[in-house]
A and B are shown apart, each in its own frame.
Chain A
């Protein structure tokens, strides 16, 4: 039995190297799926075989949740991607050479994200987040249209600035730790930092957190630092939109959470909660308004991601066992639901040949499976029962009402705004007269409905071990 952590990291790395030189795109797509599945299986073994914490890598209850989610959605997206790219080849938007590059980048991105999640060294974590960012930049620009290039450029510039600020914050954390922990590697190891955090200079830690919040917050897509997000989602290939929303935002959020725990461990540092609550609410309400003016379906759901990241950051900002629990659940549900929505949107835009909402209509009639899949996905994402998002949003709202009614009113207002906008757009595209081409799709329905089934199940019955696990992690987050 190999070391599971090494296996999780090496599998995508080796796969990326092979995919870069593999000429056949069919083989490439198959290998992409196999490698993603292998990573997922290795990630599952972490549940019972947990390696010891080292200076570079760490497995604890918090990151297992993220790693599992990452590997699972990585795998389902790779199966969706396999059917998606076939169509892109037929229409000539991508060539086999592009696909070789695309597959290699996909695995490299999974490697970067898993490394960021498993890193125990805050410097290593930063490098990994940067790697994941760069690979997605390359993939966003892959269509090489004017819009795609602009989106990639914007994403690259804003992402780099964000990541640069995060590095500055990381250096400040090291400076705060050095007098206490000692020079060198020790002062960058997260588990060490946590141990000594109460003795750190609080004012230095405060400034560091501001930089980290702005830096990693840019990657989370928090308003007003979100400008790259809608473009990157709209102009890249749809599988990339799915992983951006479902995974990359989470990875940045995870980095933020790690530092939040450090800050919370120091009694004299500022409470990170109010900052996160403020940014979260701002993102939620801003995105709620922006949703009404969208005419591009992928952009629409990109803004919905900003909205949800707002809710999640808000929940973690409220903290406490209930707030953190709700945040974790909301994050998991959002990842599953949003990537499912992008799976169906990807096939829909391929059939219709457009991403404009006014060019799409009557989907439930012309393509029942895709149409109803989208309806279910949107119903889930706006928080209708019996889906899991309802459970988590209900938890966020009710726990906020108990502690800060004013904030809860704002939160509910934001949720209702988004609810209305998405409902309107959903009826436009799903019902009414059929618009646009009604060609057959070679869609892969399994990832779409697998995600929706999981979200539905979570809404009806959360398995007690999962609840216990999330409660435990929520307590860790303080």
Chain B
């Protein structure tokens, strides 16, 4: 199968969906309520599912539909729903998280998008156009996810940041045409495992402190002992 040429309809839609993912990533940055943040996480995974499904269509790679289905069912519905359940159970749905300068965070996010485009586009000049755009935009999503994990103190927000980071990697993996299925399933699977781990930890943290604010855990900050 020959690669998809730039500026055909297929390419434009793929580009739009990947760009949409970056946009939703940026939306995450300014959510200061946990429930709203979880809704955006659901939207993020939904856009990813659409993007992966489109890749499956244009690459004629039916196995990618499985990845899309996992993204839709597991990441867009199940995880946000259970995290939401957890948030309500812990009575955190009314809390407002201090995000620390929304304007500044947004600027940093925009700078990261610019950085990833500047870094990735020249390097991938020989790759086929769809993969090229996807990789560059995926890197932005990864970096914004990292930014989110750094700026938030709340354990659930950090999990959300990590999930969006994984979504970005999924975008990159599906954009790279013909990447073996092994990897995609493993990514999805590792998220499942990771989620169980996090769930276990969250409940234990909840048991002990009645809070999931990570700063409450900083009793033995590494450098002191």
Contacts and interface: CB of A to CB of B under 8 A. Distances in A.
B124 A156 contact: no
Interface string A140-153: 01001011011111
Contacts of B198: 156
Contacts of A230: 222
Contacts of A179: 126-127
A171 B204 contact: no
Interface in A143-187: 144, 146-147, 149-154, 156-157, 160-161, 164-165, 167-168, 170-172, 174-175, 178-179, 183-185, 187
Contacts of B173: 167, 171
A138 interface: yes
B40 interface: no
Contacts of A294: 225
Contacts of A127: 182-183, 186, 190
B123 A207 contact: yes
A179 B2 CA distance: 12
A347 to B, nearest CB: 21
A178 B178 contact: yes
Contacts of B120: 207
Contact of A160 (B131, B177, B194): B194
A295 B201 contact: no
A227 interface: yes
B162 A161 contact: yes
B217 interface: yes
A137 B179 CA distance: 29
Interface in B43-71: none
B158 to A, nearest CB: 6
A160 B187 CA distance: 12
Nearest to B171: A171
B18 interface: no
B187 A167 contact: yes
Contacts of B205: 149, 153
Contacts of A126: 183, 186
Contacts of A278: none
B122 interface: yes
Given A168-B169, A171-B172, A130 B222 contact: no
A290 B222 CA distance: 11
Nearest to B208: A146
A123 B178 contact: no
B117 interface: no
Most chain-A CB neighbours within 10 Å: which of B155, B183, B194, B218?
Answer: B183
B197 A299 contact: no
B172, B205, B225: most-surrounded residue (chain A CB, <10 A):
B225
A204 interface: yes
Contacts of B133: none
A428 interface: no
Interface of B: 119-120, 122-124, 126-127, 131, 135, 138-139, 142, 146, 149, 155, 158, 162, 165-166, 169, 172-173, 176-180, 182-183, 186-187, 190, 193-194, 197-198, 200-201, 204-205, 208-209, 214, 217-220, 222-223, 225
27 contacts: A126-B186, A130-B190, A134-B190, A134-B197, A150-B217, A156-B198, A157-B162, A160-B194, A161-B146, A164-B166, A164-B169, A167-B173, A168-B139, A168-B172, A171-B179, A172-B135, A174-B176, A175-B124, A175-B131, A178-B177, A185-B182, A188-B179, A188-B183, A204-B123, A235-B220, A295-B225, A296-B225
3 cross-chain pairs, A with B, having the tightest CB-CB distances, nearest first: A183-B178, A150-B217, A296-B225
Given A121-B182, A294-B225, 15 more contacts: A124-B182, A126-B183, A127-B190, A130-B190, A134-B190, A144-B208, A146-B209, A146-B217, A147-B219, A150-B219, A170-B183, A183-B178, A201-B127, A206-B123, A207-B123
